[in-house]
Amino acid sequence: MAPSLAVLPASLFGAVMGLAGFGLACRAAAALFPVPAGFAEIWIGLAAVAWLLLLPAYAAKALRHPQAVKEELANPALLGYCATLPVGSFLLAAGLQPWAEAPAQALWWAAVAVMLVLQLRMLQRLMLGGIKLAQVNGGWMILLVGGIVAPSAGLPLGHDATALALFAFSAAVSPLVMGLVLVRMLFGPPLPDAAKPSWFIVLVPPALIYLNGSALAGGPAGTPLEVLFLCGLPLAVALLVASRGLLRWPFGPPWWAFTFPLDAMAAAAVRFAQEHPGAGWRAVAGALLVVTGIFVTWTLSRTLLALASKKT
């Protein structure tokens, strides 16, 4: 029996992020590796299918169960994950841009509007105070730091100034938000196993501030931005080691939090290998792409199996 729309979480748009992000990473990797023609576009197509299925479903939830949506927008522990919708839309717009300019443009501006509304809502909620440490989580980074994704679509679509504004705000607040998440990690109550994949979100700022910061600059990244990426590498290894028991964790929507952070690291590694030619960095980029592909494929397969089991 299909589950009620009332329990459909906004965080499921993380699937769009993970699928589109992997497609974009594979598209970039074609400059280094013999990526089969159309391979990247398959993943972007899957992201488009996920978006087209999830958006009307969530709209129906908003119409039939408005109180459930209000709860997501009011609860600091849930609000951040609502930003998976605009961030996923940014990535999908970047994926569609070479093939469908008009839909990509419409998707870009819709994502900008939703992102700004959600960020203002989060700032309003922060000013109200009374937030418990247990309510701080990686979702805050998706919302408040998510603007660092904007240049991936904004630059090819010709919206450099808007992309820069979104990127600049998110890059500026990223140390504060990452600090809050780190404090929660060290001193807050332990996350349940089902939510532990969300810690991978801390990989996104070092990867995308490096990647999209250099894209905005229009040239080589330079040492300060490269340091961010290089700091992200041992962090990625540490997180993968810490997650070695993941097969025992309950599967659910938070597992998509594995995917986009690894997408971002893989794409950043491809860029770094292009700027620093050599077998070593090429191998790092290739390894990250393989690991990312395994996580994305595994999570997609488990999601489809879970959906199929709920319909029977």
Cβ–Cβ under 8 Å, residues 288 and 25: no
**Residue 6 pLDDT exceeds 90:** no
pLDDT band at 1 (very low <50, low <70, confident <90, very high): very low
pLDDT score at 113: 98
Average pLDDT over every residue of 12-17: 97
DSSP per residue, 258-306 = GHHHHHHHHHHHHHHHHHS-SHHHHHHHHHHHHHHHHHHHHHHHHHHHH
pLDDT band at 308 (very low <50, low <70, confident <90, very high): confident
pLDDT score at 185: 86
pLDDT score at 69: 94
pLDDT in tens, 22-59: 999 999 999 999 999 899 999 999 999 999 999 999 99
**Residue 80 pLDDT exceeds 60:** yes
pLDDT score at 18: 98
d(CA 251, CA 254): 8
pLDDT score at 298: 97
pTM: 0.95
For 65, 74, 77, 122, 128, the CA distances from 71, given in Å and listed in that order, are 10, 5, 10, 13, 16
**Residue 307 pLDDT exceeds 90:** no
d(CA 76, CA 134): 10
d(CA 115, CA 108): 10
pLDDT score at 310: 72
pLDDT in tens, 102-143: 999 999 999 999 999 999 999 999 998 889 999 999 999 999
pLDDT in tens, 199-234: 999 999 999 999 999 999 887 766 789 999 999 999
pLDDT band at 311 (very low <50, low <70, confident <90, very high): low
Give the pair of three-digit tokens for residue 219.
């040239």
The H-assigned helical ranges of the chain are 14-29, 39-64, 66-74, 76-79, 84-96, 101-128, 139-144, 151-154, 160-187, 204-217, 223-242, 259-275, 279-311
**DSSP category for residue 12:** G
Position 209: which residue type?
I
Nearest to 193 by CA among 259, 244, 135, 263: 244
Average pLDDT over every residue of 64-81: 94
**Residue 282 pLDDT exceeds 60:** yes
Compute the C-alpha angle 195/196/202, nearest 5°: 115
**Residue 4 pLDDT exceeds 80:** no
pLDDT score at 221: 60
The CATH class that applies to domain 5-311 reads: mainly alpha
pLDDT in tens, 145-196: 999 999 999 999 999 999 999 999 999 999 999 999 989 988 988 889 999 9
